[in-house]
Chains A and B, each alone.
Chain A
């Protein structure tokens, strides 16, 4: 099992590294094949692991990483049914996206970089899914953050894209601060980074500490999954290539947050407060994003807000204590959202980078395959009765409603309103973009796209429509997924609802969806819709209640202004002040030096020395007269000397 999981992780990693190092030297096909093999191999390994592992739980160690004293972070793996489901979903959807990308990026010259990052992204997600040690999770977490930055800002030549990538990285990093504090907390309280050990010791946490820890984890999840208050990066992240949006926003990154909470559910469970907060965040975000999606004119932005909304459901599920429902909806969402994104990608490429739905139209006739695919996805997203997301969403609503606390009923209501909005905004886009319109597109506008791109989406469509079978509330496939996940800590395969409640909820949801569909039809299809003016309510919804502008106002601008202030007025002035101060200190020193030089050195010492030298000159010229060259002088001096000599002798002689 160790070998299988190790190979599973190594496949995308090797693919990414190979592409990074030698990708440019290989022919294009080879590089693409490496990338696709990277993920397909992982898929194969995931299937094998599932077959071999079944419902068992494995703890495996790959590699000791950091060990200092009692702080130990090894690259450990915790493979349980939850992880099994996740890696299967991730590898399957990623493989399809890789294959799609081969066709999508056919005209792009930077494909090596693209595939390298795509593989590394999948690797990072797999690490998060499998890791047992929280620091190892953090490695995948940050790695994913970086890869998303690189992929969102892939077409870096345009500042807008690079900025979007940067925004994503910074926002998720804010969540990561929360994560790292949670890490430190875990270590200090429970002396371990290992998820399994933390879960085992969870019951020893006091409610207060458990709340704190859960809220910190929630903070981390909110950053990664783009829930309130950190939703702002996700709509802008649509600047990246569409397959990237599909990967990040459908299958992987946004689900990582929920996944973390599900893994550490025993800890979260200890704190009802935190669970309420979690559910609250989820519900409010669902409604918020749903409302915002109603006003979007960019097809990808609608899907982005839709993602935020659906992930809100996941948070609601975890908050209501239903891991099985959460996982179920997670998998459903991955299928239909990826389908929607990739179909939208087909449309966008066919119409030469047109994102505005109001400039589309007539696509049913012009692109029939994509029409059906998009319809399949839209229907699943709307939770149309008996298809696609119906069962998963229904289960979450049921779990929320069944929760004993009153507050959850309120949240249930909010979620129901959002459930009403979902088909509305989905089919708004669907009708506007695809249905017959007088001012719609003509055949000449369609650029041909490879058939492969659409063909790859059919498996997704089938899965999206039929995934209700995974966990039917009754009948043959009753709680299939639920039973599979039974051993996961905190999972409840069966919610234990009465038959009557289940049926009434189911019918109520169906009724809601159909009503919403009828409303959408009347609003958007009965009469051809025109692009509304960007004022008032419409503008507010489109810009998601001005949250982005708010953040820019209270965080971004002051931060930059403060930076400028600190640099110019503080550091620069301080530095110049210091220099001035030093120079001022230096002035008396210099003055003293000048004084010493001019007054003392020049005048006294120098002059004195010169005068002394002059005196010596006189002396020497005087003495020089003895060398007159005259015999008489010499003789005189000779005798004089003799006289002195004898005189001294005479005086000294002891008479």
Chain B
């Protein structure tokens, strides 16, 4: 273990920052700059991990690049256990990066209760970092539940017209799923304890349990799957997402789409599937059906949306469907593709939401009826919009293509029909994305507005996102290298889902 508890620092620095920000609430300017400082510091902390030249080390809780393991609630068997591997590293890097952008994008958009807003944003950042690093199921569950609370307030206070409805829907859906997960968690704890005599929440130890009864395993896995499926979201439990995304403030949408959705997928492949491999293997067809269905269904619906933010929300569901195909297949190539696609989706969808948010700041409307012909008035904005739309489309040379092609080619080996369906899905993608682009920036001007092109702050956000997109699209080597070892560990020597250890 590294002497300096950098992982805990990464988790708690934003939380501490959030409370500090709260104390400055009287001065919005100070609040913004302090938040920016906190998030930039977090980004540099996480980035420094890349340069530490870490190697996997075996430890009491498994093989990690970095780990911290302290006793927490000893009589319950819960430990404060954080572990870093390539996958979590990429995801907390995404968290740190996206949150810097969140702070920047909310600079002028939020004028009311600024201190509380940034408090919630920073608090959410810390919680997410903790979620991606947690190694202990109780600790994970704690972070999982807590992440909902700042999001609820962000939605409910700074959202748009229908925000209360959206916030309530969000919190009820998520907590409903989490309740089932909690029951399954406790059941797992108890069953494992009865089996081995050790009552523990440590994932590493729980993963080594001998299979319980067939039905029990399936029930437990199903409960986990439901909770994570609501977050991902998988159809048919996706209906909270369009409302939540549409009504949230820009930074809220960016956080939601860019990060919170990832937690569901992460939990699926980090906890749910490795804990119950036999049940997972059985339910893979279900997972694939839901994923492919979501891919087409959401893409189809996205075409007729009148609200541009809602369209992007449905595109999120569609992309997630693709990612779940990769996770469900569980071989080396598709998992690499799926995790890479998590990062990619985080970048491109956040970019699209940021662009829509910028539009909202100018026009105060999200309806297509108020858009049209923007290229003539805001050429730089439109160029970026087109760029990110292309990235969402999966144009080769940009980021989404790499993830998608890995997933689909890896799938083709085992289940060619699913791969062919996935490939056909790209046509559906083209149709709604081109519709979005055409109705927003091409075509005739439907309504006259006062418009201004992007300023320096917005330029910094967009350029950094564009660079990230290009980097992953043209040179995914470094990212894939970081992911190589943990994915190999997850997949195991057989290259497929191991039937228990």
Contacts and interface: CB of A to CB of B under 8 A. Distances in A.
B303 A162 contact: no
Given A68-B484, A69-B332, A571-B301, 16 more contacts: A20-B383, A65-B475, A66-B402, A66-B405, A68-B332, A69-B336, A143-B395, A157-B373, A162-B442, A169-B430, A181-B423, A183-B405, A184-B408, A188-B409, A567-B304, A575-B243
B434 A146 contact: no
B480 A563 contact: no
B49 to A, nearest CB: 22
A503 interface: no
A66 B476 contact: yes
A157 B236 CA distance: 39
User: Interface range on chain A: under 10, 10 to 19, 20 to 34, or 35 or more?
Assistant: 35 or more
A337 interface: no
A220 to B, nearest CB: 11
Contact of A166 (B304, B333, B434): B434
A177 B404 CA distance: 13
- Which of B239, B242, B395 has the most A CB atoms < 10 Å from its CB? B239
Contacts of B297: 566, 571
Interface in B450-476: 474-476
A187 B412 CA distance: 9
B427 A567 contact: no
B412 A64 contact: no
Nearest to A150: B386
Interface in A380-407: none
B142 interface: no
B438 A560 contact: no
Interface stretch (A96-104, A134-142, A641-649): A134-142
Interface in A391-425: none
Contacts of A493: none
A309 B376 CA distance: 37
A65 B474 contact: yes
B107 interface: no
A169 B386 CA distance: 14
A162 B435 CA distance: 10
Contact of A142 (B172, B395, B424): B395
Contact of A71 (B172, B333, B416): B333
Interface string B421-441: 001101100110011001000
Nearest to A70: B333
Contacts of B336: 68-69
B397 A143 contact: yes
Interface of A: 20, 24, 64-69, 71, 135, 138-139, 141-143, 146, 149, 153, 156-159, 162-163, 166, 169-170, 173-174, 176-177, 180-181, 183-185, 187-188, 559-560, 562-564, 566-567, 571, 574-575, 578-579, 582
Nearest to B402: A66
B477 A64 contact: yes
Contacts of A146: 390, 395
B466 to A, nearest CB: 11
Contact of B409 (A64, A187, A575): A187
A183 B410 CA distance: 11
Interface of B: 169, 172, 236, 239, 242-243, 297, 300-301, 303-305, 332-333, 336-337, 373, 375-376, 379, 383, 390, 395-397, 401-402, 405-406, 408-410, 412-413, 416, 419-420, 423-424, 426-427, 430-431, 434-435, 438, 442-444, 474-477, 480, 484
12 contacts: A66-B476, A69-B332, A156-B442, A157-B444, A162-B442, A169-B434, A183-B405, A183-B409, A184-B419, A184-B423, A571-B301, A575-B243
Contacts of A162: 438, 442-443
B426 A567 contact: no
Contacts of B431: 170, 559
A151 to B, nearest CB: 13
B427 A157 contact: no
Nearest to A20: B383
Nearest to B310: A567
A562 B420 CA distance: 21
Nearest to B404: A180
A139 B444 contact: no
Given A162-B442, A169-B434, A184-B412, A562 B423 contact: no
A173 B383 contact: no
Nearest to A153: B442
A132 B480 CA distance: 23
A139 B410 CA distance: 19
A86 to B, nearest CB: 20
Contacts of A170: 427, 430-431, 434
B443 A135 contact: no
Given A146-B395, A169-B430, A567 B301 contact: yes
Contacts of B172: 582
B177 to A, nearest CB: 13
Contacts of A153: 438, 442
Given A170-B431, A177-B426, A156 B303 contact: no
Contacts of A139: 396-397, 401
Contact of A188 (B301, B375, B412): B412
Closest 6 A/B residue pairs (Cβ): A139-B396, A184-B412, A156-B442, A575-B239, A563-B303, A162-B442
A112 B416 CA distance: 44
B412 A143 contact: no
Contacts of B405: 66, 135, 180, 183
Nearest to A187: B409
Given A170-B427, A170-B430, A566-B300, A66 B419 contact: no
A141 B475 CA distance: 19
Contacts of A156: 373, 375, 438, 442-443
Contacts of B408: 180, 184
A149 B379 CA distance: 18
A135 B376 contact: no
Nearest to B487: A68
B427 A564 contact: no
A185 B301 contact: no
A157 B377 CA distance: 12
A100 B409 CA distance: 43
A67 B477 contact: yes
Contacts of A67: 477, 480
B426 A180 contact: yes
A173 B474 CA distance: 21
A156 B480 CA distance: 39
Nearest to A69: B332
Contacts of B373: 156-157
A174 B300 CA distance: 16
B430 A173 contact: yes
B304 A69 contact: no
A612 to B, nearest CB: 39
B396 A135 contact: yes
Contacts of A559: 300, 303, 431
Nearest to B373: A157
B227 to A, nearest CB: 17
